[in-house]
């Protein structure tokens, strides 16, 4: 219960920052209302899991209850400050879903720390708190309602891989594919995790099955949003990334400081850290960075959320070493 209350408290802090600075409104091609109701520009419109869940919650809620909740909250200060007075119940449903994703992420990270390392039990309880609070450093430009689900599903995919619960991994992978196209990176992690245990033919059969599943889900999503304005990919190499030094020098400097801090923490005792995590960081970060360089804002740190769970796990032993916390004398998992 103490851990649950701690995680709820931390989530309340993180989601407040998420909603206030930078917030989920501001980009005209992907406003909250347009995302929820399927009117956003591509590629944002293709992240359909959370918007569908919000519409589903609203659809099954009795109208009388929805009106009661809206009347009860629409005059609250935080509702008016955030501009939620028009669609109060939809925003509150989104708030509940996003908060649930953050709490779920904390528990998944707790399980991952306990599986990857042999530190005292309190480390697995507290480390996720530090990790999620650190995530606020990545809140740049804008946030989107599907970001917490991205973090949760990618983290859950890693946990399912490491626990070797293949059925759950396929479920999480499917949900992640509905949520965002970067879920394809989980296939690379699947290959890394099972490259020794599975025979090559069986390994590539499973990877092929995952690839077909991902292509099918994304093709289905593309069909659903085929009439939406915009393009599948938005090029930003010329208009933003190559102009960063004089267009947004502070943002570039901020991103470089965060990257430098991450590199410093990850490099500490690099060779002693789990091989799966070391390889996983490379196969997730390099494609994300390349994609952001050509089709995103390279200084928009939320573009690297899929790498963040692995980055967090690699930083845990570094922080423990700094604090003088040693692993217990038990064999560490592979």
Averaged pLDDT for residues 2-23:
93
Averaged pLDDT for residues 165-190:
95
- Rounded distance, CA 129 to CA 107, Å? 10
Averaged pLDDT for residues 150-163:
95
pLDDT digits (tens, 9 = 90+) for 208-220: 999 999 999 999 9
Helices (H) and strands (E) in the chain, counts: 15, 0
- Average pLDDT taken over every residue of the chain: 91
pLDDT at 333 (0 to 100): 52
- Rounded distance, CA 281 to CA 89, Å? 39
pLDDT at 53 (0 to 100): 96
pTM over 0.85: yes
pLDDT at 145 (0 to 100): 95
CA distances in angstroms from 330 to 124, 128, 318, listed in the order given:
16, 22, 19
Under the banding of pLDDT at 50, 70 and 90, the label for residue 329 is: low
Is the pLDDT at 332 greater than 60, yes or no?
no
Averaged pLDDT for residues 256-284:
94
Is the pLDDT at 3 greater than 70, yes or no?
yes
pLDDT at 325 (0 to 100): 87
pLDDT at 330 (0 to 100): 53
SS3 238: coil
Averaged pLDDT for residues 81-99:
89
Is the pLDDT at 298 greater than 80, yes or no?
yes
Nearest partner of 143 among 291, 18, 309, 17, judged by Cα: 18
pLDDT at 69 (0 to 100): 87
Under the banding of pLDDT at 50, 70 and 90, the label for residue 257 is: very high
């Amino acid at each position: 219960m103490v851990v649950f209350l701690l995680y709820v408290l931390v989530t309340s802090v993180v989601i407040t920052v998420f909603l206030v600075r930078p917030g989920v409104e501001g980009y005209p091609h992907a406003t909250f209302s347009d995302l929820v109701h399927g009117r956003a520009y591509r590629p944002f419109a293709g992240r359909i899991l959370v918007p569908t869940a919000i519409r589903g919650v609203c659809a099954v809620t009795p109208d009388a209850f929805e009106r009661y909740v809206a009347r009860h909250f629409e005059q609250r200060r935080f509702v008016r400050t955030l501009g939620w007075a028009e669609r109060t119940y939809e925003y509150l449903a989104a708030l509940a879903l996003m908060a649930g994703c953050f709490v779920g992420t904390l528990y998944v990270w707790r399980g991952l720390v306990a599986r990857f390392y042999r530190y005292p039990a309190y480390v697995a309880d507290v480390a996720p708190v530090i990790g999620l609070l650190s995530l606020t450093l990545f809140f740049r430009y804008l946030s989107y309602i599907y970001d917490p689900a991205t973090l949760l599903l990618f983290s859950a995919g890693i946990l399912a891989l490491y626990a070797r619960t293949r059925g759950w991994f396929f479920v999480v992978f499917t949900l992640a594919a509905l949520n965002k196209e970067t879920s394809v990176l989980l296939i690379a992690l699947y290959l890394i995790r099972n490259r020794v245990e599975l025979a090559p033919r069986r390994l590539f059969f499973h990877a092929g099955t995952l690839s077909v599943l991902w292509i099918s889900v994304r093709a289905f999503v593309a069909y659903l949003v085929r009439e939406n304005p915009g393009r599948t990919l938005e090029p930003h190499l010329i208009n933003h990334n190559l102009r960063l030094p004089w267009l947004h020098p502070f943002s570039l400097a901020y991103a470089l400081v965060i990257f430098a801090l991450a590199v410093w923490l990850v490099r500490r005792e690099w060779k002693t850290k789990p091989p799966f995590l070391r390889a996983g960081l490379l196969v997730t970060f390099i494609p994300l960075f390349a994609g952001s360089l050509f089709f995103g804002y390279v200084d928009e740190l939320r573009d690297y959320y899929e790498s963040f769970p692995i980055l967090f796990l690699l930083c845990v032993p570094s922080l423990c070493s700094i604090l003088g916390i040693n692993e217990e004398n038990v064999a560490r998992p592979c």
